């Protein structure tokens, strides 16, 4: 992953495009590592999932307060979305059968359920567009449990100070200097 961030950052730098390091941030050392190899910013989903402001239910296990964590595109999230879409489809279908009042923009079974043979899945010649009809949700991210980290306003200064220490360990004062040295071959 680190080679990928560095390679992307070298190309992106030529065009003024920022690079986002996503996934695998376990501690503040991972943050400084990603930033020092060219990432402009870092996604910290699981890393920040334990703060009070993040969604999730708290529970205790072996005397430790934990929080359930679920990435937005994890298998669990996609399963919940599919379940919600099926339920919404059944509810709207039931209301339509009972003569419910629906405006033209209301969700209906045909709009919520995936229909590979629908007219919008056909090419200009009328043949079925197989690439679209085989659409399969791709999962990314994980579900699990993380240790309670308390409120973000108490945790964030620790993250910032850790990044400062990482820069100090590299003998520099800013990310701009790190990136300049990185791309000049001095780092």
Concatenated DSSP letters for 74-106?
Answer: SHHHHHHHHHHHHHHHHHHHHHHHTT----TTS
Q: Whole-angstrom Cα distance, residue 51 to residue 30?
A: 18
Q: Provide the mean pLDDT of the chain.
A: 76
* 139 or 107, which is more confident: 139
Report field, pTM of the whole predicted structure over 0.85 = no
The whole-number pLDDT of residue 142 equals: 63
Binned at pLDDT 50, 70 and 90, residue 22 comes out as confident
Rounded mean pLDDT, 73-91: 63
Q: Are strands 41-42 and 20-21 parallel, antiparallel or unpaired?
A: parallel
Rounded mean pLDDT, 167-181: 92
The alpha carbons of the chain give a radius of gyration, in whole angstroms, of: 23
Q: Whole-angstrom Cα distance, residue 109 to residue 113?
A: 6
Rounded mean pLDDT, 9-21: 93
The whole-number pLDDT of residue 114 equals: 42
**The pLDDT of residue 95 is above 70:** no
Phi, psi of 6, rounded to the nearest 5 degrees: -65, -45
Q: Please list the alpha-helical segments (H only) found in 22-151.
A: 28-36, 45-48, 75-97, 109-112, 130-133
Distances (CA, A) of 172 to 39, 162, 163, 165: 17, 14, 11, 10
The whole-number pLDDT of residue 117 equals: 47
Rounded mean pLDDT, 106-133: 47
Geometric angle at alpha carbon 13, from 8 and 17, rounded to 5° = 80
pLDDT tens-place string over residues 130-142? 455 455 555 556 6
Q: Whole-angstrom Cα distance, residue 160 to residue 138?
A: 34
pLDDT tens-place string over residues 61-80? 999 999 988 765 555 656 66
């Amino acid at each position: 992953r680190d080679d990928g961030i560095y390679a992307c950052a070298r190309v992106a730098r030529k065009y003024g495009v920022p690079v986002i390091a996503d996934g695998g941030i376990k501690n503040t050392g991972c943050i400084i590592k990603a930033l020092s190899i060219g990432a402009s910013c870092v996604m910290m989903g699981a890393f920040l999932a334990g703060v009070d402001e993040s969604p999730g239910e708290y529970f205790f296990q072996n005397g430790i307060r934990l929080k359930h964590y679920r990435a937005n595109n994890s298998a669990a999230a996609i399963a919940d979305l599919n379940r919600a879409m099926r339920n919404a489809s059944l509810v709207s279908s039931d209301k339509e059968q009972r003569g419910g009042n629906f405006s033209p923009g209301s969700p209906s079974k045909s709009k919520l359920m995936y229909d590979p043979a629908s007219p919008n899945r056909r090419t200009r010649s009328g043949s079925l567009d197989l690439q679209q009809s085989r659409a399969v949700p791709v999962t990314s991210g994980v579900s699990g449990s993380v240790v309670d980290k308390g409120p973000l306003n108490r945790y964030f200064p620790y993250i910032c100070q850790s990044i400062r220490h990482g820069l100090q360990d590299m003998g520099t004062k800013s990310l701009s200097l790190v990136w300049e040295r990185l791309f000049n071959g001095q780092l």
